[in-house]
Amino acid sequence: MHVRISMERPEESAAIKSLYQWLAKDPDVARTAELSLTTQAPEPGSMGWDMDTINVVLSNSLAGLNAVLAAVTVWRQNRPTGSGGVRVDTVEDPPNPAGDSGGDDRDRG
């Protein structure tokens, strides 16, 4: 399972970097998730600016998601009131091409 974490207000890039560091130091998150910090450009033709996001790949979907959500909750509780909210979205894994089992494609006949 993939999860994307962003701030509700894109101008809060310092906050998303702080959250990334918090998640990277959490032992439960480290055990069940792989993190990366990326910058998303706005959709072509739309008004907006680049937005930093945390991409999370979970090795154990339920336990990993619980660990990430718990860590985000504790991080939010330690932030000043009035700071922007955190958005956590699940992202569907891309499907395998039809017939691709991930094995060797050579003819075994």
Distance CA 98, CA 107 (A): 17
pLDDT at 60: 78
CA dist 100 → 24, 91, 97, 103 (Å): 33, 21, 5, 7
Please write the tens of the pLDDT for every residue from 3-20: 999 888 767 878 889 999
Name the pTM for this structure: 0.72
Interval 25-66: pLDDT, tens: 999 999 999 999 988 766 676 665 567 889 999 987 888 899
Check whether 82 has a pLDDT greater than 90: no
| pLDDT recorded at residue 71 | 94
